[in-house]
Structure 1
Amino acid sequence: MPSLESLIHYCFAVGVLAMVGVALVLAIQVFTLGTQAHQDNCKEKVKRATKPDTTSHEEPYYAGFFHPYPNIGGGGERVLWSMIKAIQDKYPFIVCVIYSGDNVTRDELLRNVEAKFGLSINPDTIYVVDLSWRWLIDRKFPRFTLLVQSLGSILLAGQAINRFRPDIFIESVGFAFTYPLVRLLTARIPIVAYTHYPTISSDMQTMVSSRETGVNNDQTIASSPLLSRLKSLYYWGFALAYSFAGSFASTIMTNSSWTQDHLVKLFRMPKMTKVVYPPCDTKAFSEFPLSPRQPLVMSLAQFRPEKNHKLQISAFAHLLATRPEYVAPPGERPFTAESLLTHCCQPEPATIRYPILVLIGGARNIEDEARAEELRQLAKRLGIDRQVLVIVNAPWGQVLEWLKYSKIGIHTMRDEHFGINIVEMMAAGLLTIAHDSAGPKLDIISPAIRDTLPSDMQLAEFTAKLDRSTNDEDIVGLGFPVGWVATTAEQFADSIALALVAPSQLAIAVQRAARATARTKFTEDAFRLGFYKRFSPVVRWLDIQRSDIDDTED
């Protein structure tokens, strides 16, 4: 039994450690938040620059959106601005404060949002806080990128909170390591998360442990047992830290079932983690006629390594090698992108006699430009360059034309968390083929065609019921396949061949089923409904907290 003296020493040591911990927390709070006068001054700036409607509410709330790239114009930004639009429509007393590193004014930002997404945002409840430390997350490192960027996100969130402390912290990029900092600064700030992709997943860990090469595991590490073991330990430790950080979120929305499954395993909060599909602009695409279509196999994705455009080139090469009837006649002049689009846009264009692969995507930088050129050279080495077009940074109007006339859509990224481009191709009427994994497999192309086309009996039953269906929900409920899924180059080639020879009645059936799915599951209205279910309890909680404070003061 320990003596009284040793017990006193033990209690003293514990007390010292506790005091050090409290002092550290206070130091972080003082360093991050600054003085109360500083925060009052920041809040006063926001008040002067905004005009929330408080006729139905005593005082405004301030929602801070931690989204350092609000002006990029991608799928993540559509989610951001759709959330803000939803808040403005239902909660006009909430001011949306956007933590931005894009160095643009509020008016310029809102003009770009309307031009890109067609969303009209009320500037009266928008305030932009500039982040000068965004370089902390911009830089790419050859090693330990996940760790360095996560640490950088913590410092960047510290700068954001220092420049304005919100009532609600909404994180819509995926930087879960910011959550403990926000909770440490004040427990009264609820944390709302919308996660597009887990920073680390069991798939990434499996790839490393099995020594498989991929985007997150290069050949040098995959070929070394020692390096693979060390990286596995690094991923294991990082996953533990990521799980701890994610547990601080008040509510978590994910963009797909795949992302949800991973976050439930990591954060262990199944009741707080729900799928809210991102909003997709399907209205314009849905107006395109389903036929006639040209035998164009269209890809729509940024020229990033994880999109795996090389697999598309390989699949198309396999298609032409195994089916010589699809090879362009040797003496025929090949199409350029301009001449092909001009041909398609004619009032009654002749049907092209052979398939052409059209890769359309954005290039963010010189590295992406180099990848696009590498694809051209790969097609040339494989001898199929006469039937392959690589188009970089095409204007959106031209992209719409390609979607209008192409027959087949292809997307080859493995473990794509969702795939907005896939939804757009389905809504536009393309017979869509995607990788048999993650979001496309679980949420978008479901049910799918894999090896064989639906039987004549299935088609007849669906067609008969289709004629009696009065809305898109009825069509989705019939459970007819909405596209193809594949994994290998050979499977993608076989799927392309099946789509090319599909009878018109079957093709139209798949197109209608796919379009109905796009217009019901992935619309702006569906997103808003799901978002309100997760966000409204947070607002009610804030009301309760404010009421309790008022009662205490009285």
Structure 2
Amino acid sequence: MPNLESLIHLCFVLALPVMGVIAMGMGIKTFTLGTQAHQEECKERIKASTSPDTSTHEAYYLGFFHLYPNAGGGGERVLWTMIKAIQDKYPFMVCVIYSGDSLSRDSILQNVKAKFGLTIRPETIYVVELTNRWWVDYKFPRLTLLMQSLGSLAVASQAIHRFCPDVFIDTVGFAFTYPLIHLLSTRIPVVAYTHYPAISSDMQTMVSSREAGFNNEAIARSALMSKLKSMYYRVFALAYSFAGSFASTIMTNSSWTQNHIVQLFGKPQMTKVVYPPCDTLVLAEFPLVGRQPLVMSLAQFRPEKNHKLQIEAFAHLLKAHPEFVMPASERPLDPETLLANCRDGSGIRYPVLVMIGGARNIEDEARAEELRQMAARLGIDRQVLVIVNAPWSQILEWLRFGKVGMHTMRDEHFGINIVEMMAAGLLTVAHDSAGPKLDIIVPAIRGAGDVPTDEECLQFPVGFVATTAEQFAESIAIALGASEKLAEGVQRAARTAASAKFSEDAFRTAFYRSFGPVVRWLDNQRSADDDD
């Protein structure tokens, strides 16, 4: 029988690790938040620079963890449309933006107005500039997912040190920050808008199957390296799932993202689909008639966009339909002349694949050039245009005259460019997976046997889906040769779906539905504090 002294000694030994964890947690909390006087000073600084309407409600301070608020992409449109919705319904709320951009509030808001046409009132906006964004910008040569996720903790620590909000809203997907917020205070709800999971079961499957398109070629060739990477992904997925479980309210941008996030975070009741807002107003004004045989592609020249599949599909199209091949006697047109012919009514007699995309760096530029060379090797370069970093005004012209849209990325989480092509009146062929399959091209035409008859035209599909080069070629051929009734039916159905399902108003309605319970929880907490 152990004596009392032994039991005390055992309890002390067992308590040491627990005490160490508690002490470490308290140390992190103190280091991150600073003193109470420091936080009060930060809050007074924000109060002095903002003027929310507190005539009927006390102010709440929302912290938006969005390190690139000036980037001008789809994620930024979500951020600023969300903030605009908050300003319209909750004028007593102050939106604090944790930003890695060295720009003033006024400069950022001017850019938001220019890029998105959104007028944001400056009196409830405050920008907290962060100086350590490089933690998530740096391209770690190894264990990139893990290192950037851990780096986000350092960035979030600086953000909270500079101001601790009433609500923490993550709009970029850094789930590893959620446990940190929970550690600092269980009274700070974590709201997440997730564009795509940092890791998914699909990614793990592709690693395990050693697909060269997804893995580094050296890893794909090695069974041992593939196994090690697969183990790393499994461990990371467990850590990501644990971190995500600390979110109070989760919004996802598509059904595909929703399914993966529910599987990972385990919070189906707290997770709702809120489709991103798409600016379809200008595109929806384009006439549906007068279209030319232009096959349009809009996507950054990144590897995952799979532009090579587009070249292969177009080559299959020309091989299967010799009538689409431009005779050797005809001179191919440059982009400017081609657009001029569209404007003056001269028209285009043979299909042309027009691939428009942004190039972020020299690697993207090299990929664009590789596509030109691939088209030349296949003998179709006379009917293929690769246009890099075209201005939006020129893109609008291409969309105005194009007839077919093509998207080939596998497991695209949403696909805003697909929505834009649908709104512009193009007959769109998208990859039969993820967001396009589950949310956008619904219902879809899958091959020649799926084309509706005249009697079925009351419920038109909104586009086509395909997987292989042959399937894409078949769908493009159907679209190019579609009867007027079929083409107009699909165009109108697609435009209606794009304008209604993915509009700014639809986004606001869905956002209010998810965010409303958070506001009610804050009110209840404040009422309880007042009663005490």
Q: TM-score range, shorter-chain basis?
A: over 0.9
Tell me the amino acid that sits aligned with residue 460 of structure 1. E
- 1:456 Cα deviation from its structure 2 partner: 5.8
Tell me the amino acid that sits aligned with residue 264 of structure 1. V
The residue that corresponds to 1:19 in the other structure is: 19
Tell me the amino acid that sits aligned with residue 178 of structure 1. T
Determine if the alignment matches structure 1 residue 56 to structure 2 residue 36: no
Q: Which runs of 5+ in 1 are unaligned?
A: 466-477
Return closer, same or farther for 1:498/1:32 CA change in 2, 3 Å cut-off.
same
The residue that corresponds to 1:340 in the other structure is: 338
- 1:495 Cα deviation from its structure 2 partner: 1.1
For residues 386-407 of structure 1, give each alpha carbon's deviation from its aligned partner in whole angstroms, at most 9, with x where no partner exists: 1111111111111111111000
Structure-1 separation of matches of 2:398 and 2:295: 10
Residues 18-417 of structure 1: matches in 2 within 5 Å? Answer: 18-57=18-57, 59-215=58-214, 217-346=215-344, 349-417=345-413
Structure-2 separation of matches of 1:401 and 1:133: 41
Q: Secondary structure at the match of 1:283?
A: coil
Contact 2:67 2:133 in 1 (8 A): yes
Tell me the amino acid that sits aligned with residue 494 of structure 1. E
The residue that corresponds to 2:9 in the other structure is: 9
Structure-2 separation of matches of 1:227 and 1:539: 48
For residues 141-196 of structure 1, give each alpha carbon's deviation from its aligned partner in whole angstroms, at most 9, with x where no partner exists: 33211011101111111111111111100001111011001111111110000000
| TM-score, normalising length: structure 1 | 0.94
- 1:21 Cα deviation from its structure 2 partner: 1.4
How many residues of Structure 1 are paired with residues of Structure 2 in the alignment?
532
Q: Secondary structure at the match of 1:54?
A: coil
Contact 2:448 2:474 in 1 (8 A): no
- 1:9 Cα deviation from its structure 2 partner: 2.5
- 1:455 Cα deviation from its structure 2 partner: 5.2
Structure-1 separation of matches of 2:295 and 2:4: 81
Q: Secondary structure at the match of 2:282?
A: helix
Structure-2 separation of matches of 1:392 and 1:277: 28
Contact 2:342 2:348 in 1 (8 A): no
Determine if the alignment matches structure 1 residue 503 to structure 2 residue 483: yes
Return closer, same or farther for 1:521/1:546 CA change in 2, 3 Å cut-off.
same
Return closer, same or farther for 1:444/1:546 CA change in 2, 3 Å cut-off.
same
- 1:13 Cα deviation from its structure 2 partner: 2.0
For residues 91-120 of structure 1, give each alpha carbon's deviation from its aligned partner in whole angstroms, at most 9, with x where no partner exists: 001000111112111111111111111111
Identity %: 71
Structure-2 separation of matches of 1:246 and 1:80: 20
Q: Which runs of 5+ in 2 are unaligned?
A: none
Contact 2:338 2:348 in 1 (8 A): no
Tell me the amino acid that sits aligned with residue 308 of structure 2. K
The residue that corresponds to 1:539 in the other structure is: 519
For residues 372-392 of structure 1, give each alpha carbon's deviation from its aligned partner in whole angstroms, at most 9, with x where no partner exists: 122112212222111111111
Structure-2 separation of matches of 1:204 and 1:276: 23
Moved over 6 A (4+): none
Return closer, same or farther for 1:488/1:6 CA change in 2, 3 Å cut-off.
farther
Structure-2 separation of matches of 1:2 and 1:122: 71
The residue that corresponds to 1:471 in the other structure is: none
- 1:2 Cα deviation from its structure 2 partner: 5.6
- 1:16 Cα deviation from its structure 2 partner: 2.0
RMSD value over aligned CA atoms? 1.3
For residues 50-99 of structure 1, give each alpha carbon's deviation from its aligned partner in whole angstroms, at most 9, with x where no partner exists: 11111120x21110100101111111111000100000000001000111
Structure-2 separation of matches of 1:242 and 1:96: 27
The residue that corresponds to 1:446 in the other structure is: 442
Return closer, same or farther for 1:2/1:255 CA change in 2, 3 Å cut-off.
farther
- 1:351 Cα deviation from its structure 2 partner: 3.0
Return closer, same or farther for 1:232/1:95 CA change in 2, 3 Å cut-off.
same
Question: 431-440 vs 488-497, which deviates more?
Answer: 488-497
Contact 1:453 1:498 in 2 (8 A): no
Tell me the amino acid that sits aligned with residue 49 of structure 1. S
Tell me the amino acid that sits aligned with residue 43 of structure 1. K
